[in-house]
Structure 1
Amino acid sequence: MQSVGEQTYTQAVREGKYDLYVGNLFGKYDNVRTYWEDQLTRIALRPCLTHLVDRKREAGQKVRICDLGCGAGQGYQILTKIDRRDLDLGLQHQRVLNEDEISTYLGLDISQAMVEKGSVLFADKPQLQFAQADLREGLGKIKQEQPFDIYFSSYGSLSHLGRQDLVKLLTDVCEHGHDGSLIVLDLIGRYSIEWPDFWSAESESEKVRQYTMSYLYSETARQEIDIESFPLRFWAGSEVKQLADELAAATGTGLEIINMMDRSILVGRHTDTHEYNPALKPIRRLINSLHEDYLRTDLGDLILDLDVPDHPQITPRLQQLMKSWNTLVEYCQHRLCHNFCLPELKGWNDFPKPLQFSLMTMDRVIADVGWMWYGDPRANIIEPQLGYALRTLEYDMQRGSGCGHGLVAILQLKK
């Protein structure tokens, strides 16, 4: 029996969409993936991963990782490229987890094409192993292995499982892991602006919707080919908390939520496809443009004017974020042509702290590079920094409620 999504993933591997690449304007490894999503996952993981690795070092042990729904092993690069602190102007990285500190990285995926691709990409790293597994059946034979220090997932992989199947898998994980093991859940957020029609879901069946990876293809290709759809389970932050309580009660294991993060709140994959919300601007494409060398972006196109469904918690937060986003973009538009004193900005004292910090950052960036002539400083310095400022604004104002394309939850076992 062909697994859900198998046609899409097999075709994507065949077309090279899972080859290693550093980013672009379109496709799986676009600039938002590289400079926003991967980095935000690393930022969220850094404190707890640092603590785990330091503990293993003190015990003279190496780290064991199980990647649940590993794809072609991209999660390995997320975990091994986390810096211990924000970098200064020195040249050296100090990674939280070095490759030689990993004894085992076991990637599990239902797609044989993915397993084979991962084995090829990382053939020079003997500590990396890949195996085909149906996670709907729990950990299966993996329960015979030694416990892992990290049970990891990335990019919505566990949303392929219905709630009942995810409970089965995580029950196995809770029983298999040891005291201090980390569990990283990467799910699809239900309250994203990409699919406002999904917000009202109440029953379990309504929370499972058909989904496509049409963003892998150009707009022309999307109109000409038959793109597979498959069911995904969409999650709210409150549901993850309920799930953790349920697992703790069922297994008798302590399960602490260390962090929950909304990722890609305004720049999710389907903001460009309009597949679920035709009213959206192609905002992800515009953010990709900010991070592209020698490409200037019309900042006016970044201004958001979007109605969102009425939800007592989600709607006010999204409205505040969009208002702050627009304030930052509009200020940069003006500041590129005029000198300006920030405290004179209307409403300054009432701005959220993350917005004030972003405004001060961009004011300083523009002031400091205004004298440069070589290398198009607007395209290559100012616009990327605006991208990072907007990214930081999203991160600092999110609350892990499920209002982004991705919902990342980091849990720790207490035994």
Structure 2
Amino acid sequence: MGKRESVYAGARAHYLSPKRRDPVKRSAEEPLSRALLREAVAGLGHQGPVRVLDLGCGTGDGLDLLSEVPHAVQYTGLDSDADMVHTAAELHPDARFVRGDLRGPLPEGEFELYMSSGVPYSHLPAEQIEQALRGIFEHIRETGKPAALVADVLGRYSIEWLPNWGHTRWDYAMTFFEGESAPAGEPMTFLAGEDFAALVRNAASSAGVRLADTRFTDRSVLLGRHTATRTFNPHIPPYRKLVNELHSDVETGGKETGGFERLLFDPPQTGAPPAVLEHFAELASRWNGIVRAAIDQEQPGTALAEELLRCERENRSGLGVGHSLIASVRVLP
């Protein structure tokens, strides 16, 4: 996939670092991803082992996200980065990993679930995202059996990169990596919900399949990793860092209550469609209400962290307002 290896410079160290699974990831991001994958499989009414193709699998993190699927999992991971594939095979010897491109050809065999969890499609321009989705849908059509697709991209209207809201493709670097070297940047695609939906519909129409139970979900709306780095929007509070620090008091027994005002969210007023701005206004009302109640009641920081993580988990508008925008679709051949 072009320059993908440059984007993932230092990726092995990052993906293997225990610090990567911070409280936000464990308590908000992973539960949401597990729920979406579980619901996608349940919607098929499938019996027996579930055959999974993880597109852009990285080091195989998707295996853990499948832990709540109520079936045995037969997992195949596909990634274009040789080091990722090698590392994944070392970490998960019972799974299958293949080096290949999202745009095909796909590994042989039938799959009930086609998934991604690391926004691999955003490496592609919009027309190539549609091409990759069309290839998946054609693969499903050829099997003659229903399947589920759970695919994610970078959300266009994340507060992490508010200054770039006017663009759908711009130079992005994963500066939250914990590797030895900072990753280089390259153009990435950022989609609003309606734009991602159009790509999915167009790909399905071209492939000759039908879509059912289609929905879109935002993940990491106020707690994306770049709220901690502030690489693209230096004017926002470091929400993820602040919530992680409050949550960490669970382990230390601390009850630090000071400085909660730093968590207040000032919603954007311009730069996005009305539905997006309205969503942020409603979120600010709920989020700030939680913060102010914690201040007034002198709650411990751990309690505030739990409330904010719950708010994050329940924020699923699908408008493209989070770090990730996830499409969940049942595909009928």
TM-score by length of 2: 0.89
Residue from 139, 146, 163 that aligns with 2:104: 139
Task: Give per-residue Cα distances to partners, 1:57-104, cap 9 Å, x unaligned.
Answer: 2xxx32110000000000110012x2xxxxxxxxxxxxx335xx12x3
Q: Which letter maps to 1:214?
A: T
Contact 1:196–1:308, Cα closer than 8 Å, also in 2: no
Task: Give per-residue Cα distances to partners, 1:14-42, cap 9 Å, x unaligned.
Answer: xx322273xx4xxx322211211111112
Distance 1:270 1:167, change over 3 A: same
Q: Distance in 1 between matches of 2:7 and 2:106?
A: 27
Which residue is 1:346 aligned to? none
Distance 1:297 1:18, change over 3 A: farther
| Rg comparison, structure with higher value | 1
How many Å apart are 1:306 and its aligned residue?
Answer: 4.7
Which residue is 2:291 aligned to? 329
How many Å apart are 1:413 and its aligned residue?
Answer: 0.7
Task: Give per-residue Cα distances to partners, 1:348-382, cap 9 Å, x unaligned.
Answer: xxxxxxxxxxxxxxxxxxxxxxxxxxxxxx46xxx
Q: Which letter maps to 1:255?
A: L
Query: Which ranges in structure 2 are unaligned for 5 or more consecutive residues?
Result: none
Look up the SS of the partner of 2:187 in the other structure.
Answer: strand
Q: Which letter maps to 1:238?
A: E
Contact 1:272–1:280, Cα closer than 8 Å, also in 2: no
How many Å apart are 1:8 and its aligned residue?
Answer: 4.3
Query: Which ranges in structure 1 are unaligned for 5 or more consecutive residues?
Result: 83-95, 202-206, 338-377
Residue from 295, 305, 321 that aligns with 1:387: 305
Which residue is 2:146 aligned to? 180
Which residue is 2:193 aligned to? 237
TM-score by length of 1: 0.73
Contact 1:179–1:414, Cα closer than 8 Å, also in 2: yes
Which residue is 1:300 aligned to? 261
How many Å apart are 1:395 and its aligned residue?
Answer: 4.0
Which residue is 1:320 aligned to? 282
Which residue is 1:159 aligned to? 122
Which residue is 2:21 aligned to? 29
How many Å apart are 1:278 and its aligned residue?
Answer: 1.3
How many Å apart are 1:308 and its aligned residue?
Answer: 4.4
Look up the SS of the partner of 2:21 in the other structure.
Answer: coil
Distance 1:153 1:280, change over 3 A: same
Q: Distance in 2 between matches of 1:75 and 1:119?
A: 13
Match status 1:402 vs 2:282 = no
Task: Give per-residue Cα distances to partners, 1:267-317, cap 9 Å, x unaligned.
Answer: 111112221111111111011113212253632321223544343111111
Q: Distance in 2 between matches of 1:227 and 1:410?
A: 30
Contact 1:190–1:236, Cα closer than 8 Å, also in 2: yes
Q: Distance in 2 between matches of 1:256 and 1:320?
A: 29
Look up the SS of the partner of 2:199 in the other structure.
Answer: helix
Contact 2:150–2:326, Cα closer than 8 Å, also in 1: yes
Q: Which letter maps to 1:6?
A: E
Q: Which letter maps to 2:318?
A: G
Report 1:1-400 matches (<5 A).
Answer: 3-13=2-12, 16-19=13-16, 21=18, 24=19, 28-52=20-44, 55-57=45-47, 61-80=48-67, 82=68, 96-98=69-71, 101-102=72-73, 104-123=74-93, 125=94, 128-135=95-102, 138-140=103-105, 142=107, 145-177=108-140, 178-201=144-167, 207-217=168-178, 227-292=183-248, 293-294=251-252, 295=254, 296=256, 298=258, 299-310=260-271, 311-336=273-298, 378=300, 383=302, 385-400=303-318
Q: Which letter maps to 2:83?
A: A
How many Å apart are 1:226 and its aligned residue?
Answer: 5.5
Contact 1:266–1:404, Cα closer than 8 Å, also in 2: yes
How many Å apart are 1:392 and its aligned residue?
Answer: 2.9
Q: Which letter maps to 1:153?
A: S
Look up the SS of the partner of 1:216 in the other structure.
Answer: coil
How many Å apart are 1:412 and its aligned residue?
Answer: 1.1
Q: Which letter maps to 1:190?
A: R
Q: Which letter maps to 1:120?
A: E
Q: Which letter maps to 1:130?
A: F
Distance 1:386 1:46, change over 3 A: farther
Look up the SS of the partner of 2:242 in the other structure.
Answer: helix
Task: Give per-residue Cα distances to partners, 1:378-411, cap 9 Å, x unaligned.
Answer: 46xxx1x433322332343431000111101101
Contact 1:10–1:111, Cα closer than 8 Å, also in 2: no
Q: Which letter maps to 1:97?
A: P
Q: Which letter maps to 2:195?
A: E
Distance 1:119 1:67, change over 3 A: same
Which structure's relative contact order is higher, taking Cα pairs within 8 Å and 6+ residues apart?
2
Q: Distance in 1 between matches of 2:22 and 2:2?
A: 27
Count of matched residue pairs = 324
Q: Distance in 2 between matches of 1:71 and 1:117?
A: 9
Distance 1:305 1:51, change over 3 A: closer
Distance 1:190 1:301, change over 3 A: same
Q: Distance in 1 between matches of 2:29 and 2:284?
A: 19
